[in-house]
A and B are shown apart, each in its own frame.
Chain A
């Protein structure tokens, strides 16, 4: 069965071959972005029907996303939950996304429990989400602009570089506060109201 929150989490996780040692924003603290509140619809390139993403603001500076993926072909409808934290660093807005539930049980994805760093922009009724680009981050690490490691690894027959930003929270946040930080990200998904 298709993983829950197919559009979002799978797209983020599969696209995001870049790990971070700490979530974005730990040095400044989190505050819920009210612009995200409410219902969004969208899909990744792999999904046919659009999913629903209901964003509920919690009292503890986290947000819960309740997602629903309609049935499609042989895939039954599914639902799941994500937890978000958001932070604004300079002109850039970021979210840390973690899958917390799938069809009423714990998440089954490989990426479950991992915090995935994302850049987002809201333009009117459009929400654009960006994931760290492996090649651009690799170049930034090799150029010494951000501290990190590049470790060759194999997944089956595939050779994949595991790219990890190892900078601590303060350095990561300072780096991502820069106006040109979004250049490290690549679009992964667009949603609408």
Chain B
């Protein structure tokens, strides 16, 4: 089982020792085209599950990808994380294919796939990120609704291996949002 060490946004907001979130071997959205979502650019601020405030800086890259620099702030701030991502819109769903790169300046040994993070913006400009629920993804794989495999045991990681066409068709459907049960965190734009 792949483990991640630190508690920070996106993949890293999981508690210490938690499983790595479900990943896809292909990014979500390649058949529709991975396009930078300009809404995300700039600086956002939120509070993580430890109650620590953090900043997220989204940097657009010339190759159409995003670099996301996430830094805890305030007293007892400990961690900073860098994530690379691509974004795509499928149907009504906005996805960020995220991959953890560094934590506190050290390279992460993250799986080679990407985490399909769902994000939503409400009318007040609050941005909510959701991770796919591991058990729900495992159930979908077991039921044959999406191709993939899971490691043995309750803590085994789940990997969705569907080809790009099948993957995008699945994640474009309205039902795909059912994979995402609980908000990971919310942020609001500050700059």
Contacts and interface: CB of A to CB of B under 8 A. Distances in A.
A90 interface: no
Interface SS of chain B: helix, strand, loop or mixed?
A: strand
B179 to A, nearest CB: 30
A81 B59 contact: no
A53 to B, nearest CB: 10
Contact of B80 (A38, A64, A103, A104): A64
Interface in B44-75: 55, 57, 59-60, 62, 67, 69, 71-75
Given A52-B43, A56-B78, A104-B101, A38 B73 contact: yes
B105 interface: yes
Contacts of A71: 41, 60
A79 B80 contact: no
A182 interface: no
Contact of B71 (A34, A66, A76): A66
B82 A104 contact: yes
Contact of B59 (A38, A64, A79): A79
Contacts of B78: 56
Interface string A56-73: 110000001010101100
A38 B53 CA distance: 10
Interface residues of B, number: 25
A76 B42 contact: no
B43 A70 contact: yes
Nearest to A79: B69
Interface residues of A, number: 23
A68 B57 contact: yes
A56 B60 contact: no
A101 interface: yes
Indicate the member of B69, B72, B77, B102 with the most A CB atoms within 10 Å.
B69
B75 A77 contact: no
Contact of B74 (A38, A100, A103): A38
Contact of A79 (B41, B57, B77, B101): B57
A96 interface: no
Contacts of B182: none
Interface in A3-62: 34, 37-39, 49, 52, 54, 56-57
Given A64-B105, A104-B101, A56 B77 contact: yes
B191 interface: yes
A10 B42 CA distance: 22
Nearest to A41: B191
A158 B71 CA distance: 41
22 contacts: A37-B77, A38-B75, A39-B73, A52-B191, A54-B72, A54-B73, A54-B77, A54-B80, A56-B72, A56-B77, A56-B78, A56-B79, A56-B104, A64-B104, A70-B43, A70-B191, A77-B60, A79-B59, A79-B67, A81-B105, A101-B105, A103-B67
Given A71-B60, A77-B57, A79-B57, 11 more contacts: A38-B73, A49-B191, A54-B71, A54-B77, A56-B79, A66-B80, A68-B55, A76-B59, A76-B60, A77-B59, A79-B69
Q: Which 9 A-B pairs have the closest CB atoms?
A: A54-B71, A68-B57, A39-B73, A77-B59, A66-B71, A79-B69, A66-B80, A38-B74, A38-B73
